[in-house]
């Protein structure tokens, strides 16, 4: 199950990087909100890849006996504390933009994207409210 979730997150991060790369040059010249949203996609992809690498390195170091279980837990908690604010910030920016797109262009796809982004942000926010103080306190 952990491998499946890891692969799913990797796929989402690759997709975020691909889509951001496709609009990067246009966004650079367009400036304004378009450029800001390209940066939010870049931030989300970067945070996703950072978490994927952190999990892989933590599991491998623990598997090879280079770090103790307590050190592995600390590694994951430090990573969580450092990455969650970026995930939440970029996630909310993307969610609000998807709401605007769904409002302007009523289609099943736009409504679905807005619904998914809303669910993902609510889920991430509640997890952060529950887990961030614990992780921060143990760091």
Output the pLDDT for position 63.
Answer: 96
Average pLDDT score over the chain: 95
pTM score, two decimals?
0.86
Contacts of 130 (CB under 8 A, 6+ apart): none
Output the pLDDT for position 2.
Answer: 86
Cα torsion angle, 134, 57, 43, 14, sign: negative
State how far the Cα of 51 lies from the Cα of 39, in Å rounded to an integer: 18
What proportion of the chain, given as a percentage, has pLDDT over 90? 96
Confidence of residue 1 (pLDDT cuts 50, 70, 90): confident
DSSP secondary structure letter of residue 49: H
pLDDT digits (tens, 9 = 90+) for 87-112: 999 999 999 999 999 999 999 999 99
What proportion of the chain, given as a percentage, has pLDDT over 70? 100
Output the pLDDT for position 139.
Answer: 86
Residue in the block written with tokens 């990797």: 10
By C-alpha distance, which of 139, 6, 5, 2 is closest to 77? 139
By C-alpha distance, which of 75, 72, 83 is closest to 43? 83
State how far the Cα of 135 lies from the Cα of 119, in Å rounded to an integer: 23
Q: Taking 90 as the threshold, does the pLDDT of residue 83 lie above it?
A: yes
pLDDT digits (tens, 9 = 90+) for 3-42: 999 999 999 999 999 999 999 999 999 989 999 999 999 9
């Amino acid at each position: 199950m952990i491998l499946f979730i890891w692969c799913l997150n990797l796929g989402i991060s690759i997709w975020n990087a691909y889509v951001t790369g496709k609009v990067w040059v246009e966004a650079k010249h367009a400036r304004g909100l378009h450029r800001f949203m390209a940066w939010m996609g870049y931030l989300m992809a970067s945070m996703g890849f950072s978490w994927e690498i952190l999990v892989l390195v933590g599991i491998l170091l623990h598997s090879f006996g280079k770090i103790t279980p307590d050190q592995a837990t600390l590694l994951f908690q430090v990573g969580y504390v450092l990455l969650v604010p970026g995930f939440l910030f970029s996630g909310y920016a993307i969610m609000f933009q998807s709401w605007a797109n769904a409002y302007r262009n009523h289609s099943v796809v736009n409504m679905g994207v807005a619904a998914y982004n809303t669910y993902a942000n609510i889920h991430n926010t509640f997890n952060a409210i529950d887990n961030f103080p614990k992780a921060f306190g143990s760091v």
